[in-house]
Amino acid sequence: MRRLEISDHSRDNAGLKYVYPVVSRRAGGVSIGINLSPEASCNFRCVYCQVPGLSRGKSAEVDIPQLEAELGQMLSVICQGDFFAKRVPVGSQQLKDFAFSGDGEPTSAPNFGDVVDCVIRVAAKRVETQPLPLVVITNGTLASQPAVQSAFKRLGAHKGRIWFKLDAVTRAGFDRINSTPLAAEDHLDRLEATARLCPTWIQRCVFGFEGTASDDEAEYLSVVRTLLADGVPLRGMLMYSLARPSQQPEAPKLRALSQAELEVRAEPFRRLGLDVSVHA
Ligand code: SF4
């Protein structure tokens, strides 16, 4: 296994099909990544997506016994010996969570619920320490499906958290950034339903795009204000910019924002009472 860096989120750095370790800005340490789309298929095509060879589609059925074996193997490697000293930069030498992320939309796996149950089982086996939190990083498009909602509810009951991607709040914004003309109202309904099932944070990528902001800031602020006024239990917002190069044709038109620029963007949301963390 190579030395881990924030700039390298290779899914194959442990030679496994579903499981890979990363140093995560989001987690503030090492995260055990679970890639449910090794074939690199997603129902979005975000202009900033770092996945090489991304295609449109959904994840295939996950081999649960293989996933469980890989998780056990990864935990023994990380928790024994000199893994942190040899592979992880100083300041990040702590195991933080399991994260369903990877090269596509995790909830599109037909047996996503079984996957969630498998990870809950593995996390619960860590009797010597606190069970690790489970984080699902999702674009939220399938969050109205009963099977996905049921899995989110079980996650919520087992220290689960959801990072719900919301880069835009208008159909034009979804089309421009995620290459998917979603109906904004339906997507916000899915966000609300998710937040009521499991602790949920908005996950928002912000960047310069063809010389302008990635989406309409005033509109975004107004949507968040309404969600909060309606009592939607959002836990906060994770605002971040581009840490790794986009593999999409739009890559040359994108500009990463600095920490100071992100702080300026975060401030109006904080004034609404939302907990906002920023990661350049
Ligand atoms: S949702 Fe994630 S995997 Fe899918 S295109 Fe966007 S960044 Fe890539």
1 in a domain, yes or no?
no
pLDDT by residue (tens digit) across 178-217?
999 899 999 999 999 999 999 999 999 999 998 776 668 8
269 in a domain, yes or no?
yes
pLDDT by residue (tens digit) across 131-164?
788 999 999 999 999 999 999 999 999 989 999 9
By alpha-carbon position, which residue is closest to atom 8 of ligand 1? 49
Instruction: State the residue range of the domain holding 103.
Output: 19-279
68 in a domain, yes or no?
yes
The CATH number covering residue 210 comes to: 3.20.20.70
Q: Is the CB of 104 under 6 A from ligand 1?
A: yes
By alpha-carbon position, which residue is closest to atom 6 of ligand 1? 46
CA 103 – ligand 1 centroid, Å? 7
Cβ-contact 208, 257 below 8 angstroms: yes
191 in a domain, yes or no?
yes
4 in a domain, yes or no?
no
208 in a domain, yes or no?
yes
pLDDT along the chain (280 residues), means of 10: 62 80 82 93 95 94 96 87 82 88 92 96 74 92 98 95 96 93 94 98 93 78 97 97 92 94 96 94
- Ligand 1 atom closest to the Cα of residue 37 is 3
Mutate to test the pocket of ligand 1, among 43, 105, 207, 241 (most ligand atoms within 8 A of CB): 105
Q: How far apart are CA 173 and CA 243, in angstroms?
A: 21
Pair of tokens at residue 263 = 């702080």
- Ligand 1 atom closest to the Cα of residue 102 is 3
Residue 15 backbone dihedrals phi, psi, to 5 degrees:
70, 20
Number of domains in the chain: 1
Long-range (24+ apart) CB contacts under 8 A made by 7-14 are 7/243, 7/244, 8/244, 9/33, 9/50, 9/244, 11/35, 11/38, 11/102, 11/103, 14/74, 14/77
Cβ-contact 106, 162 below 8 angstroms: no
Q: Is the CB of 58 under 6 A from ligand 1?
A: no
3 in a domain, yes or no?
no
pLDDT by residue (tens digit) across 210-224?
877 666 889 999 999
67 in a domain, yes or no?
yes
**CA 199 to mean position of chain CA atoms:** 14
Q: Is the CB of 182 under 6 A from ligand 1?
A: no
Residue 166, CA distances (Å) to 92, 146, 215, 275 in order? 27, 21, 11, 16
Look up the pTM and report it.
0.91
